[in-house]
Amino acid sequence: MAREWGSAEWERLLAERGGQLMGTAIALGGSRAAGEDLLQAALERVLRKPRQVDWDMEGYLRRVLYNLAADGWRRRGRWRQKLPLLRSEAMAAAADDTAVVDLRDVLVRLVLQLPPKQRAVIVLRYWEQRTEGETASLLGCSEGTVRSAASRGLQRLRELAEPSAGAGTQLTEERS
């Protein structure tokens, strides 16, 4: 039977699943502060209209989270504001020959240089291990869009990461 979710139910969900939700928000936002902002914005969105629910509310919150990351941030142009900062970070890391560059961290930072929808697709597909169908359903787009966004996103990451990877590191996409 449907029941209305109030603040107590959301508090309980965050107590039980807050770590995972926050992790997703951080991955989408690129930092803990941005992730916190993103999760906060998603919570505000779902609390704005209390609704009768009889299904997975974590899924509902996640869907809002993904879509805010994919659409809302792009509309506000925040990702563009971050570009100069991130570019200089990546270039500084690449220029330092003596530093031990951890390509994994660099890659995650470079994900922020992708447009929001590509970023959301990358997080959903390659971190949350969701299928193309699930990703398309969560982001409200077609599987073809997910495929092309993932492909373009990875290609762009390769291009961006090439200076950091150095001569000895060859980036290849593993196809499953």
- Residue 152 CA from chain centroid, whole number: 15
Give me the torsion for CA of 136, 141, 142, 145, rounded to 10°: -90
Closer to another protein by CB, 3 or 48: give it.
Answer: 48
According to the binding rule CB under 8 A, does residue 174 interact with another protein?
A: yes
User: Do residues 126 and 114 touch, judged by C-beta distance below 8 A?
Assistant: no
Residue 60 interacting with another protein (CB under 8 A)? no
In the chain, the N- to C-terminal Cα span, in Å, equals: 40
Using rule CB under 8 A, residue 81 touches another protein: no
CB 65 within 8 A of CB 21: yes
For another protein, the binding residues in 105-164 under the rule CB under 8 A are: 105-108, 111, 122-123, 126-127, 154, 157-158, 161
75 counts as binding another protein under rule CB under 8 A: no
Select 3 or 104, whichever has its Cβ closest to another protein. Answer: 104
Q: Which two tokens stand for residue 121?
A: 């697709």
- Cα separation values, 101 from 31, 57, 86, 155, Å: 19, 40, 16, 20
> Looking at beta carbons only, is 75 or 104 nearer to another protein?
104
22 binds another protein (CB under 8 A): yes
Give the total of residues touching another protein (CB under 8 A). Answer: 43
Nearer to another protein, 1 or 15 (CB): 15
Question: What does the DSSP assignment read for 28-90?
Answer: HHSSHHHHHHHHHHHHHHHHHS--EE-S-HHHHHHHHHHHIIIIIHHHHTHHHHHHHHHHHHH
Of the candidates 86, 103, 115, 163, which one interacts with another protein according to CB under 8 A?
A: 103
Choose which of 38, 39, 146, 149 interacts with another protein (CB under 8 A).
39
Contacts with another protein, residue ranges (CB under 8 A): 7, 10-11, 14, 18-24, 26-27, 32, 35-36, 39-40, 43-44, 47-48, 103-108, 111, 122-123, 126-127, 154, 157-158, 161, 169-174
